Amino acid sequence: MGEGTLLEVRDLTISHRGAGLVRDVSFDVGPGEVVCLVGESGSGKTLTGRAVLGLLRYASQLRVSGTIGFGGRDLNSLPERELRRVRGAQIGMIFQDPVAALDPVIRVGSQIAEALGARRSAARVTELLTQVGITDPELRARQFPHEISGGMCQRVLIAIALAGQPRLLIADEPTTALDVTIQAQVLDLLAALRRERDLSVLLITHDLGVAAQLADRILVMYAGSIVESAPAAQFFAEPAHPYSQGLLRAVPRVDVPLAGRLPAIPGSVPEAADRPPGCPFHPRCDRALDVCRTRPPELEPVASGLVACHAVNVPAAQP
């Protein structure tokens, strides 16, 4: 395991009846680093996050291979009993729908206490609720999930995730179900936690605007593979992969002057079972070459990071 690496995913492949849902995904997350997996539906970003926590073990139709190095061990080959000590304690997770992730018939405080385990105390529950920015924590601890708002439920889930004092937080679309003013508050909270606790975050999102607010590094996934990896500043200034470029152009935004029509990417993301041969993006790509139709590109270094694209990589090799 490399110096300064907390999570080291190597060659993660997840398949379903022979169709590769996630293919040869490798990436690192360093201490205190926020790495953002960006992609549209069907890109494999959520499966990747779940595989890190070993949550796909009982999905009998899925085959998971590769290694997930964390704290000097491979989580993918760890027995379930030992993995349970990692889950929740060293790696926390929050999901998209905060209301569904809480037990509707148990008071909020009891759910946090459960996560605290042997170290539970009313004072510690109050402290955690305060840390995630919930005012009047004693009252909130006595309430049921349906009595509090969605934004507050997500704060409670973050409190539960923090209860074990994890080093890594996996956040899968943590603000997608929230209103935009509440989303801004939750993103501020995640940024503060990362600053104050040196927490590493694997943020999974479809929203490039959310990614821009938190990420140190961006990994773009398309049809099961990472197609670009770059530091956030470089990525947003000069995305290298044609898909990344198209995606960034297609985002409606409020901060730049309108320049005519919104540039769309033609077509749609292929289903895992009918991905085209070669580069999975080539049917939608305006820079596709002949080679793109036959040979899948590999991630290769460019100035800003790594890019899997023949059109980007080939000209550099043959100047």
| Binding residues for other proteins (CB under 8 A) | 40-41, 149, 151-152, 179-185, 187-188, 206-213, 215, 232-233, 236-237, 246-248, 250-255, 257-258, 261-266, 268-269, 284
Quick one: 54 or 242, whose CB is closer to other proteins?
242
Q: How far is the CB of 77 from other proteins (least distance, A)?
A: 34
CB of 268 to other proteins, least distance (A): 4
209/251 Cα distance (integer angstroms): 8
Which residues have C-beta within 8 Å of that of residue 36, sequence separation ≥ 6? 203, 204, 205, 211, 214, 215, 217, 218, 219, 232
Nearer to other proteins by C-beta: 10 or 107? Answer: 107
- Closest separation in Å from C-beta 247 to other proteins: 6
**Which segments of 206-270 are extended strands (E)?**
217-222, 225-231
Tell me if residue 228 falls in helix, strand or coil: strand
Provide the minimum distance between the beta carbon of 110 and other proteins in the complex, in angstroms, as a whole number. 22
Residue 209: CB atoms within 10 Å: 15
Q: Under a CB-based contact definition with an 8 Å cutoff, are residues 312 and 302 in contact?
A: yes
Which CB sits closer to other proteins, 167 or 241?
A: 241
Q: How far is the CB of 148 from other proteins (least distance, A)?
A: 10
**Backbone torsions φ then ψ of 299, nearest 5 degrees:** -65, 120
**Cβ of residue 85: shortest distance to other proteins, in angstroms?**
36
Dmax (CA) of the chain = 67
- Cβ proximity to other proteins: between 70 and 222 the closer is 222
Structure tokens at 19: 């169709």
Q: Which CB, 45 or 87, lies closer to other proteins? A: 45
CA distances for 180 relative to 58, 146, 210, 226, angstroms: 35, 21, 11, 28
Task: Pick between residue 252 and residue 319 the one whose CB is nearest to other proteins.
Answer: 252
Tell me if 22 sits within 8 A of 47, measured CB to CB.
Answer: yes
- Tell me whether residue 53 or residue 186 sits nearer to other proteins (CB atom): 186
Q: Alpha carbon 239 to chain centroid distance?
A: 19
Report the DSSP pairing between strands 306-307 and 225-231: antiparallel
Residue 92, both tokens:
């926390």
Residues in the chain: 319
Of 131 and 183, the one with the shorter C-beta distance to other proteins is 183
How near is the Cβ of 81 to other proteins at its closest, in Å?
39
Distance of closest approach, residue 284 Cβ to other proteins, in angstroms: 8
Where do we find the tokens 């990362």? 194
CB-facing half-sphere around the CA of 243: CA atoms within 13 A: 27
